[in-house]
């Protein structure tokens, strides 16, 4: 039986892991620079960050490390966490009435130190948002601290008119791929 270290303090990731019967032995916040590199595309960005986060955490003998990163992309543009309410309004305006992609990178470093990385993308389309809906969402505070400025597991789900792919990916951790990676690394699953 392998002990699992979660390289994330996200409560959403812990909740998602619980759905597949996994409880981390340790939770550690990795300290890395999450700034996209010049010209970096969303797929490469989340893969790089997931692996960097996994290796930023010290691993004891026999431990397996799980790290993930999720971002929202409008075309090639990476939408990070909004800096303030004005930035959140800008992001919601950009996503209004159009499709975008949610990308997640998941990295599991097994007990031997070998990394395995998977990248998952989900297509999401928002309805056209009225100024009142944007005001309502911004006032809720829910979008602050979230990639792309929204949390699909909350009020923003009322904006989604179409989703193709993994819902758990949009929440912050694609469970199908994560379960397979953890199983391959010898982590017991519920």
Domain ranges for the chain, please list them.
3-184
User: Rounded distance, CA 122 to CA 72, Å?
Assistant: 10
CB 88 within 8 A of CB 66: no
Determine the pLDDT at residue 1.
57
Catalytic site positions:
69
Q: What is the pLDDT along the chain (190 residues), one digit of tens a residue?
A: 579 999 998 899 999 999 999 999 999 999 999 999 999 999 999 999 999 999 999 999 999 999 999 999 999 999 989 999 999 999 999 999 999 999 999 999 999 999 999 999 999 999 999 999 999 999 999 999 999 999 999 999 999 999 999 999 999 999 999 999 999 999 988 7
> Given the structure tokens 């758990």, which residue do they identify?
168
Q: Which residues pair with 67 in a beta bridge?
A: 107
For 3-184, CATH gives 3.90.950.10
Helices in the chain by DSSP H: which ranges? 11-19, 42-56, 85-95, 131-140, 167-171, 175-184
pTM: 0.93
Beta strand extents in the chain (DSSP E only):
3-6, 26-27, 63-74, 77-79, 99-109, 115-126, 160-164
Determine the pLDDT at residue 16.
95
Beta strand extents in 11-114 (DSSP E only):
26-27, 63-74, 77-79, 99-109
User: Rounded distance, CA 44 to CA 69, Å?
Assistant: 11
User: Rounded distance, CA 43 to CA 95, Å?
Assistant: 19
CB 129 within 8 A of CB 96: yes
CA angle 113, 34, 77 (to 5 degrees): 120
Determine the pLDDT at residue 190.
77
Query: How far is Cα of residue 141 from the mean position of the Cα atoms in its chain?
Result: 19
CB 159 within 8 A of CB 134: no
The two three-digit tokens of residue 88, written as one number: 């959140």
User: Rounded distance, CA 24 to CA 62, Å?
Assistant: 14
The two three-digit tokens of residue 73, written as one number: 């992309």
């Amino acid at each position: 039986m392998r002990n699992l270290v979660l390289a994330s303090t996200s409560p959403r990731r812990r909740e998602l892991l619980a759905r597949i019967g996994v409880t981390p032995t340790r939770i550690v916040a990795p300290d890395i620079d999450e700034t996209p590199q010049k010209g970096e595309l969303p797929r490469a960005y989340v893969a790089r960050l997931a692996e960097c986060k996994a290796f930023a955490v010290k691993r004891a003998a026999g431990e397996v490390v799980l790290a993930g990163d999720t971002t929202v992309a409008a075309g090639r543009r990476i939408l990070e966490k909004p800096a303030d309410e004005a930035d959140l309004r800008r992001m919601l305006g950009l996503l209004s009435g159009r499709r975008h992609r949610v990308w997640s990178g998941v990295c599991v470093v097994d007990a031997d130190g070998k990394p395995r990385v998977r990248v998952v993308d989900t297509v999401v389309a928002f309805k056209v948002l009225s100024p009142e809906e944007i005001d309502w969402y911004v006032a809720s505070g829910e979008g602050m601290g979230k990639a792309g400025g929204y949390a699909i597991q909350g009020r923003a789900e009322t904006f989604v008119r179409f989703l193709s792919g993994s819902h758990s990916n949009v929440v912050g951790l694609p469970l199908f791929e994560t379960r397979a990676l953890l199983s391959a690394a010898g982590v017991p699953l519920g």
